[in-house]
Chains A and B, each alone.
Chain A
Amino acid sequence: MELTLNVRRGGTRRSADDSHQAYHVDVEPETSVFEALVKVREEQDGTLAFRGNCGVGFCGDCTMLVNGRQEVVCLMPVGKAQKDDEIKIDPIPYAPTVKDVMYDAKRFIWDKVNSFSPGVVFNGVEQVTEEELSPVRRAMRCTMCGICDQGCTVIDVNLDFKGPAALNKVFRYVFDPRDGRAKERVVEAGETNGVWDCVHCWEASDHCPFDIDPTHRIMELRDRSVRLGVKSGTGNRQAARHYNAFERSVEHHGWLDERNVAIQSYGGLIRGGLKMMPTGLAALRRGKANLLPHRKRPGASAIKALFARYREVTRTER
């Protein structure tokens, strides 16, 4: 089929009206967008810059926007990608652009992955079951394509958030039964821009084309972190204060007292109280809140008993 690839050209500076260059190719519908781009580079324009290595969906490198949607383009046939025999190709928005559609992979993913301790630190466990290893294997299938970033609501407002792929990498080590550094790792992952900054919007899981289900991995990492007694990194105690305040509220009242949790999360009655004062006063004025603390609900003692049991169950399993 005859196709036009409209590829964004230019250097690092991006703008809404980036210029696109049209390349005409004659390829089979099942040819991948990646192969079509290689053909352009080899036969028409050696200056065209883009990333890509394996060509079989393994390395995750060739990610770019195809008609506005982020794809791993070696897995995307041109026949499927085209719209009226045209394909518009742009660089991914969540990383600096180097040239044309080539993105800065270091800033996009590797700096984030490298900010966590690498490698299994052997703990002496030599035999593991397939069952124990299967979640680890699944996480290891991540190709670092970063398509999960496309949905991520945190990356959307803060490019420094470590993001699903890098946190999934931490999961891979923490859940490896042969690794002896779980606690240090969850502390690292718990610093600002890490696992506690995830807003569990489940977008990453919705976007990942390789069934890593990264949001679940992040939430499991949080659960494991709590089990290990770690509720934040060392530099952002607020995350731990928030968790503890939330837990205390539900444990003792059965329900969440969201105003009190907010005050406690911001650092107790004085600091938190002052911070919450303007909102609190406005809420009072509008009849949205009253000054009385939450009362215990019926059933509070049963909920408290569940917490006590949870502590016993997780202690014996630890």
Chain B
Amino acid sequence: MNRFAFYPGCVSKGSCPELYESVEQVMDLLDIEVEELTDVGCSGAGVLTTEVSDPINARTLAKAEQMGLALMTICSTCQGVIGAAALRLQDPEYRAFINKEYLAAEGLEYKGTTEVKHFLWVLVEDVGLDELKALVRRPLEGMGFSPFYGCYLRRPADVVGRRERRTYIEKITEVLGGTVVNISGKGKCCGFPSLTINEPNALAMTAKHTGEAKDNGADAMVTPCPLCHLELDGEQTQAAAAARRTIEMPILHLPQMVGLALGLDPKGLGLGRHFVSTAKIVAQLEPVEAAVSAT
């Protein structure tokens, strides 16, 4: 049994409810138990100045610390921003400043011990690839997935930690029976941070990555970041139009891909809620029973 303090982030509770629903179902099957933090704030997403986001994130880290649990995120950006704050808060002087100026008023203190882990890392490092493999009830055979990490799960190196974390999506895809379809932009920006600031830039990035996945023959892309999902899925039609081509590349949330392989119902995993149709993916799935009896 793995236990975590759970930080679902804003988007899984807002525009990507299918992420929240799918991760909950998958965590059940994987014996991951979580206590959701409901009274904490947005990480700031790299938009807010660290002068205000560090206190907000220190408060989140302190709450997880009080529970004696590591903090689990399901968004690359939440992970990167809270992870970077946690790293800065390793500095005793800075931590003392934040504690005194911000957290003390609420009777909180952060001691600097909370580990911050994305669900992707939990899958490999806590659940384990062997355990995951043993639970597969519908191998994703014959299906090609292009990984798309979200910047903050790739860089900066000191926040991400172990280097091999940069290849976890590929490892998981293989364990689930799928084929990895590599794309050069898998660690690049999806475009979302620029969507409301410089839209042409954002759309060009989206067209480039989804187009590359299509050209390389992927059936879908898979991402552990709901912001990448909002962009690659939600903006794909506009991006394709701007790039004067058709793309129609389904984008799966990481727990959706895992859930499909574990035999969960595509509808329950929210595959019908995407902008780009996932019907072709669903049609390729074998019935769970058949898959089970075949093994």
Bound form: Cα–Cα A238–B200 in Å: 14
Tell me whether A250 and B188 are in contact (CB under 8 A).
Answer: no
Tell me whether B51 and A256 are in contact (CB under 8 A).
Answer: no
Residue of B nearest to A301 (CB): B39
Tell me whether A250 and B11 are in contact (CB under 8 A).
Answer: no
Bound form: Cα–Cα A127–B143 in Å: 65
Describe A's contact surface by its main secondary structure.
helix
Tell me, yes or no, whether B41 is within 8 Å of chain A by CB.
Answer: yes
Tell me whether B44 and A250 are in contact (CB under 8 A).
Answer: yes
Tell me, yes or no, whether A270 is within 8 Å of chain B by CB.
Answer: no
Which A residues are CB-close (under 8 A) to B52? 247, 306-307, 310
Bound form: Cα–Cα A27–B15 in Å: 60
Choose one: B49, B198, B274; the contact of A197 (CB below 8 Å).
B198
Instruction: Tell me which of A246, A259, A310 has the highest count of chain B C-beta atoms within 10 A of its own C-beta.
Output: A310
Shortest distance in angstroms between B26's beta carbon and chain A's nearest beta carbon? 19
Tell me, yes or no, whether A287 is within 8 Å of chain B by CB.
Answer: yes
Choose one: B15, B48, B208; the contact of A258 (CB below 8 Å).
B15
Which A residues are CB-close (under 8 A) to B154? 202
Tell me whether B55 and A306 are in contact (CB under 8 A).
Answer: yes
* Beta-carbon contacts under 8 Å, B179-215 to A: 188-189, 191-198, 200-201, 204-205, 208
Bound form: Cα–Cα A239–B199 in Å: 11
Instruction: Tell me which of B14, B15, B52 has the highest count of chain A C-beta atoms within 10 A of its own C-beta.
Output: B52
Tell me whether B196 and A158 are in contact (CB under 8 A).
Answer: no
Bound form: Cα–Cα A312–B252 in Å: 43
Tell me, yes or no, whether A294 is within 8 Å of chain B by CB.
Answer: yes
Tell me whether A302 and B106 are in contact (CB under 8 A).
Answer: yes
Tell me, yes or no, whether B42 is within 8 Å of chain A by CB.
Answer: yes
Which A residues are CB-close (under 8 A) to B266? none
Question: Beyond A206-B156, A242-B197, is A255–B13 a contact (Cβ under 8 Å)?
Answer: yes
Tell me, yes or no, whether B47 is within 8 Å of chain A by CB.
Answer: yes
Tell me, yes or no, whether A13 is within 8 Å of chain B by CB.
Answer: no
Tell me, yes or no, whether B105 is within 8 Å of chain A by CB.
Answer: yes
Question: Beyond A202-B156, A258-B14, is A305–B39 a contact (Cβ under 8 Å)?
Answer: no
Question: Beyond A201-B188, A202-B151, is A192–B198 a contact (Cβ under 8 Å)?
Answer: yes
Bound form: Cα–Cα A259–B193 in Å: 14
Shortest distance in angstroms between A263's beta carbon and chain B's nearest beta carbon? 9
Which B residues are CB-close (under 8 A) to A201? 151, 155, 188-189
B 24-44 to A, binary, CB cutoff 8 A, 1 in contact else 0: 000000000000001111101
Tell me, yes or no, whether A133 is within 8 Å of chain B by CB.
Answer: no
Tell me whether A254 and B41 are in contact (CB under 8 A).
Answer: yes
Residue of B nearest to A256 (CB): B10
A 226-269 to B, binary, CB cutoff 8 A, 1 in contact else 0: 11000000001011001100110110001111110110011000
Bound form: Cα–Cα A246–B105 in Å: 25
Question: Beyond A153-B205, A254-B41, is A305–B105 a contact (Cβ under 8 Å)?
Answer: yes
Tell me whether A262 and B196 are in contact (CB under 8 A).
Answer: yes
Tell me whether A197 and B197 are in contact (CB under 8 A).
Answer: yes
Shortest distance in angstroms between A203's beta carbon and chain B's nearest beta carbon? 7
Tell me, yes or no, whether B17 is within 8 Å of chain A by CB.
Answer: yes
Tell me whether A286 and B56 are in contact (CB under 8 A).
Answer: no
* Beta-carbon contacts under 8 Å, A267-318 to B: 279, 282-283, 286-289, 294, 297-299, 302-303, 305-307, 309-310, 313-314
Which A residues are CB-close (under 8 A) to B56? 250, 303, 306
Tell me whether B156 and A265 are in contact (CB under 8 A).
Answer: no
Tell me whether B196 and A238 are in contact (CB under 8 A).
Answer: yes
B 154-176 to A, binary, CB cutoff 8 A, 1 in contact else 0: 11110000000000000000000
Choose one: A227, A286, A305; the contact of B49 (CB below 8 Å).
A227
Which A residues are CB-close (under 8 A) to B230? 258
Choose one: B17, B40, B47, B55; the contact of A310 (CB below 8 Å).
B55
Tell me whether A283 and B193 are in contact (CB under 8 A).
Answer: no
Tell me whether B15 and A283 are in contact (CB under 8 A).
Answer: yes
Choose one: B18, B156, B195; the contact of A205 (CB below 8 Å).
B156
Tell me, yes or no, whether A120 is within 8 Å of chain B by CB.
Answer: no
A 19-62 to B, binary, CB cutoff 8 A, 1 in contact else 0: 00000000000000000000000000000000000000000000
Which of A69-77, A78-86, A101-109, A215-223 faces chain B? A215-223
Bound form: Cα–Cα A306–B44 in Å: 13
Bound form: Cα–Cα A153–B208 in Å: 11
Shortest distance in angstroms between A85's beta carbon and chain B's nearest beta carbon? 27
Bound form: Cα–Cα A11–B86 in Å: 51
Tell me whether A299 and B188 are in contact (CB under 8 A).
Answer: no
- 20 new A-B contacts at CB < 8 Å, known A206-B156, A297-B39, A310-B102: A156-B208, A157-B204, A199-B192, A199-B193, A200-B151, A201-B188, A202-B156, A219-B46, A239-B197, A242-B47, A254-B39, A257-B10, A259-B14, A261-B196, A286-B273, A287-B272, A302-B41, A302-B59, A309-B105, A314-B51
* Chain A residues within 8 Å of B, Cβ to Cβ: 153-154, 156-158, 161, 192-193, 196-197, 199-203, 205-206, 215-216, 219, 222-223, 226-227, 236, 238-239, 242-243, 246-247, 249-250, 254-259, 261-262, 265-266, 279, 282-283, 286-289, 294, 297-299, 302-303, 305-307, 309-310, 313-314
Could you jot down 26 A-B contacts, CB within 8 Å? A153-B151, A196-B197, A199-B151, A199-B191, A200-B46, A200-B151, A206-B157, A216-B156, A223-B49, A223-B51, A226-B51, A250-B42, A254-B42, A255-B10, A255-B42, A256-B14, A257-B10, A258-B11, A258-B14, A259-B15, A282-B275, A283-B275, A286-B272, A287-B17, A302-B39, A305-B105
